[in-house]
Structure 1
Amino acid sequence: MAASEPTILATSGGYRPGARTELEFAPLVHHGVELSGVAGRAPRVTHLGTASGDQRWFAAQLADAARVAGFELTNLNLFGMPNVPDIEAHLLAQDLVWVGGGSVVNLLAVWRAHGLDQIFRRVWQAGVVLGGVSAGSICWFQGGTTDSFGPELRGVGNGLALLPYGNGVHYDSEARRRPLVHALVAAGELPETHCSDDGVGLVYRGTSLVEAVAERAGKGGYIVRKVADSVEETRIEPRFLS
């Protein structure tokens, strides 16, 4: 099963504490599965933990979350070597690819070393839904803001650029994110930039932003543009996912 057109769900969320497990997949991940259109079988979801070094303990927690959700989950690991013989074939067989958080700078470097920058474009065009949280959101855009280099946030501008925008994550929970997005857009270092509060996802069909969705009430999405000599921020009210 493939989405009807290339689809990306870029988020600042997707997990919550579990009742009998360490964590569960929150509504944003379930929405990513819904966007794929899969029906009649367990959804095939693969997780990439590249940005955090493919931590096996987290993979175990995700395996428990997948069991609760009824997903067929695999972890595509790249450390110390890929754990599948054909990365592209593996990804093309999925309904949803979910990329975890961590260092987006390290993620992009490792992905390029393994040719994933080109592979992901083909996988996206084939209709496999691409999604993720934090670094797993920024990676699909031209760039965004990151703490990959240290405690002081910096801009990063070498994303995969499947989407021709910048991306701002954790917009409401990390006080330095919003002013840096505004500064980078004002300086022309980021193009029009789409941002998400914690618990919000941005849905793209092709390269068009079609809606914001939320798993937490009262949260928002935002579009930041350079207008003449100033920066304009527009709030997007998300559709709440029950």
Structure 2
Amino acid sequence: MTAPEPTIVATSGGHRAGERTMVSFDALVHHAVDLSGVHGRRPRVMYVGTAIGDAEHFTARMAEAARVAGFDLTPLHLFPMPNLADVEGAVLDHDVVWVMGGSVANLLAVWRVHGLDAVFRRAWQAGVVLSGVSAGSICWFRGGATDSFGPELRPLTNARSFLPYGNGVHYDTDRGRRPLIHRLVADGALPITHCTDDGVGLVYAAGL
């Protein structure tokens, strides 16, 4: 099964401490899986950790979270080389793509080198639910505020633009994000911008 229309779940959450694991999936990840329409088998989730350099320890934590949730999880690693021979085929074979937070600037640069922009767009149009947290949320939009370049937040305006909006993540917990987002919208550097507090996600169906 695939989602009945192109779907993105953009969040400032998705993970919490588990009872017996370091990390567990919260309702946001489960909702992304539900939106994929999968039934009668274990959901297939692709985990993309580009924004944290494919950190192996966190991949292991996500695998444990998936086991507890009853999902089959496949990591897509790009360091030091893609770990899958047919990246596009693997992406299209999954129900949900979950993109981890970290450096959205680095994520975008690495994705471009490997042609993932086109791969994820085709998957999105084919009904694979695209989702993620923080950097893994901003990447689907026109841009947002990021600490990819250092402790001081800076604008990023060259994200994937699958959605024609800006994205303001961690809107309630990072005090610098709200005023910067407001300024970027007022100056025209970002279009209409949708913001999420921590623990909140937004669902975009058919690109709306």
Same-fold call, TM cutoff 0.5:
yes
2:170 aligned partner, one-letter code: H
Where does residue 219 of structure 1 map in the other structure?
none
1:165 aligned partner, one-letter code: Y
Where does residue 139 of structure 1 map in the other structure?
139
1:60 aligned partner, one-letter code: A
**CA drift at 1:92:** 0.2
**Percent identical:** 67
**CA drift at 1:119:** 1.1
Where does residue 52 of structure 1 map in the other structure?
52
What TM-score, normalized to structure 1?
0.85
Quick one: distance in 2 between partners of 1:186 and 1:63?
42
More strand by share: 1
2:181 aligned partner, one-letter code: V
**CA drift at 1:188:** 0.3
Moved over 6 A (4+): none
Quick one: distance in 2 between partners of 1:94 and 1:56?
21
Please list the CA deviations of residues 108-140 of structure 1 after superposition, one character each: whole Å capped at 9, or x if unmatched.
Answer: 000000001111111100000000000000000
The one of the two structures with greater contact order (alpha-carbon pairs below 8 A, sep at least 6) is 2
2:119 aligned partner, one-letter code: I
- Any residues of structure 2 matched to 1:63-74 within 5 Å, and which? 63-74=63-74
1:150 aligned partner, one-letter code: G
Please list the CA deviations of residues 17-74 of structure 1 after superposition, one character each: whole Å capped at 9, or x if unmatched.
Answer: 1011111001100000000000000000010000000000001111111110000001
Is 1:112 the counterpart of 2:112? The answer is yes
Quick one: distance in 1 between partners of 2:106 and 2:206?
26
Instruction: Look up the SS of the partner of 1:111 in the other structure.
Output: helix
Quick one: distance in 1 between partners of 2:137 and 2:19?
27
Quick one: distance in 2 between partners of 1:204 and 1:47?
20
Where does residue 155 of structure 1 map in the other structure?
155
Please list the CA deviations of residues 178-212 of structure 1 after superposition, one character each: whole Å capped at 9, or x if unmatched.
Answer: 0000000000000000000000000000121xxxx
Where does residue 95 of structure 1 map in the other structure?
95
Gapped runs of 5+ residues in structure 1? 209-242
Quick one: distance in 2 between partners of 1:41 and 1:8?
22
Report the RMSD for the aligned CA atoms in angstroms: 0.5
Where does residue 22 of structure 1 map in the other structure?
22
User: Which entry has the higher C-alpha Rg, 1 or 2?
Assistant: 1
1:87 aligned partner, one-letter code: V
1:84 aligned partner, one-letter code: L
1:202 aligned partner, one-letter code: L
Quick one: distance in 2 between partners of 1:75 and 1:122?
19
Where does residue 79 of structure 1 map in the other structure?
79
**CA drift at 1:12:** 0.2
Instruction: Look up the SS of the partner of 1:198 in the other structure.
Output: coil
Please list the CA deviations of residues 129-159 of structure 1 after superposition, one character each: whole Å capped at 9, or x if unmatched.
Answer: 0000000000000101100000110000111
Quick one: distance in 2 between partners of 1:187 and 1:30?
37
Where does residue 61 of structure 1 map in the other structure?
61
More helix by share: 2
Quick one: distance in 2 between partners of 1:34 and 1:28?
10
Where does residue 12 of structure 1 map in the other structure?
12
- Any residues of structure 2 matched to 1:182-193 within 5 Å, and which? 182-193=182-193
What TM-score, normalized to structure 2?
0.99
